Structure 1
């Protein structure tokens, strides 16, 4: 890969090594996935995984080069990782063992433009359509060229061309869960800082050009608009967002379909207490598999419940009505950024409006020094889709 060779050359050049920044972060996580009695699996899943990323960034003037590797090991591997083991014995926890190059990029940065070439993270807006999948240990990166331009004050153009998506399945990925998915993917954003908030128009041409990955059926073209803003209300802060998009088949996708996406979300931060509510719809076309609105490049864990029941949108689409409540403290003794929260989801189909199920998600987290500890719990109660599921996580993240 030519960008990687150029990167290694710059890293090795004494003339370029004016500013050297080490990159190190580590994660230790326990994840438990309790099987439902009716799902036919004889055992629960328990995973203790350790993930380390280490690298270096070298900068000189407007230029920088970055290389970062990652390794993930299973200390306790009583789970199906999606690649090895038996899916008929234990539930899936998508953290296979892995040792790989995570990022390798060259970047030019000025006041008006940033251009990045190579293996890189790309996270757009709230990551609903394009994200880094940071919750999974291996993450998602892109072999891409990205240009971020600011031609006028308050206006930003962000365009990427990606020829490969490096997946969470790591170097041993194969078949439908490949280590990388090739294709000519174009991601374009045009954002304007309007008086009401950031108004963004976007076009995502996703080319999943691999027959083994759903027979090309995840290739799509999505066009939409998003408004996100923040307003003071007395001593409190009101945040809001609204989004609409339309998706249809693209490139070699054999399906002929179109589906809409809608989102309305509001939240109030009362300097401690936090309340929020929203309604998100991933629409359906005719009720056939993969003809509903799909988001294969999203950080899907952030949306529609942590139990991960809706990573692939069902054929009849999904309507997610949700409400959240929580409390945050800047500090409690030696602990910083302390917060607790809960989210309730009610899931229905978009087509025929059938109740899928409900979910409760709970979170507590705090930071001590450079370590963030988090405790999560998710419980999905099935009605007409999937089975009852509960998951539990205890996680420590450390960053240099």
Structure 2
């Protein structure tokens, strides 16, 4: 339950938390702290916000409910697109936070065993995209922030947001030792993902959720097996498959499956047989599988991406189908837009960036949602392993043929892969 000021304590646990906070506040040195921005979440979005704020000379505190070890090992996206690399470069951070290796910009799409290379070269100058697993980016962002004196607090429990429509929002949390802390600030950056507390602090009816279930399931497999030369997407009547590098000797694989499949339905033998068949690679080298999970492909957009002094960044505002690799890169874009808007307000008293934050970000979100949807439908329908039927299969095959044979179609694809900024 919420009101216009934020969460209202309704459970006994919340009442106990408020009581403990009042008791702690009376102790010496336990009064409210103050900073300019409180960042909720220490994933790619939150840590990018924190590093950019630090580069701008703007104080902030980062609160993360998980341990540092957990956050540093989360396996997610693996490509930092060209636009995001340029963003880090503009801030003077690229050399410090981008691990991995430069990406040659070539994506292999294999259709019924026939290989086609598609480039993300859109004709612009600047550094190329990088094959940089999310956990590597997070580790380097964490190290850079802390090395420069950043305030990053792990295992922050019971985080709650208050007075979001006022000039000085309040953030409360409990330390690992059980002490309740209060921080007042000017802005809150909600970077804690789809299941975090930031978005739940917004009163019901303020945000509109636009959702789409693609009706497709994926099995995601992480294995200690040789990485491919470049990202590989494969289309065949047996279903979609993909093979991505996660390091020189580590690979991430994806296999199309039923939306409600369970990982136990995919023992090692079945996984490797399906990959060899769908990738049309009978000699594919296997290795120990270290992680596997199934999930439904879905897309989600919350509009607007701000409420009072709370600004939603990354997955807390939108989820993109993984096809196209836009999820993490959208989060990095949001972070850049947010920090520039805060900087303009703090430095020049210019509120236009803050007022326009949601509108500007959502233009990019919907642009990337459309691209991701295009890729999702094209590469799954083209294999005819969905319920789309032969008509949609032939439409998808026609789109792929145009991509492989038309320079104009290839250029448009490259522009979207690179990370085009809407005007």
TM-score (norm 2): 0.24
Name the one with the larger strand percent: 1
- Structure possessing the higher relative contact order (Cα contacts under 8 Å, 6 or more residues apart): 2
Q: Which has the larger radius of gyration?
A: 2
Name the one with the larger helix percent: 2
